[in-house]
């Protein structure tokens, strides 16, 4: 059974950098074909895809946020880390990590999400 769990600060100040961690269980991030992505959802609003990292360390970013995002993985801890710089109140959202099914090209397993509020 594959599970994902997000963790990180609940409150950050504007202009700060936030680091979010996704801990994956039941699946090795170094296994051929595995990929994990980050998706966010502002309160009452739609989902927005942010970034994705593959088992071979290939990465994809949302074009609109690419300059502010960095996605990495630590295979020894089986974690995927998302860093977002220059946080703004509009970045207030629930941040989800999710496993992307290799064949289906869809996010088939999601974490519970972690809420990040950006406020001074």
Q: Which residues bind another protein (CB under 8 A)?
A: 37, 39, 45-49, 52, 60, 62-63, 96, 101, 104-108, 110-113
Rank residues 29 and 113 by Cβ distance to another protein and give the closer one: 113
Rounded to a whole number of angstroms, the minimum distance from the CB of residue 81 to another protein is 19
Assign 3-class secondary structure to 55-86: CCCCEEECCCCHHHEEEEEECCCCEEEEEECC
Q: Which is nearer to another protein, 16 or 65 (CB)?
A: 65
Nearer to another protein, 1 or 120 (CB): 1
**Which residue, chain included where needed, has tokens 């700060």?**
16
Q: How many CB atoms lie within 10 A of CB 5?
A: 15
């Amino acid at each position: 059974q594959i599970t994902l769990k997000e963790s990180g600060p609940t409150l950050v100040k504007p202009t700060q950098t936030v680091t979010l961690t996704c801990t994956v269980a039941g699946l090795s991030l170094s296994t051929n074909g595995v990929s994990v992505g980050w998706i966010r959802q502002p309160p009452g609003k739609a989902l927005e895809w942010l970034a994705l990292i593959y088992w071979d360390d290939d990465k994809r970013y949302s074009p609109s946020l690419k300059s502010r995002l960095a996605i990495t993985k630590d295979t020894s801890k089986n974690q995927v880390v998302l860093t977002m710089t220059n946080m703004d109140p509009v970045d207030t959202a629930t941040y989800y990590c999710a496993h992307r099914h290799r064949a289906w090209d869809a996010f088939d397993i999601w974490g519970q999400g972690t809420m990040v509020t950006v406020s001074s």
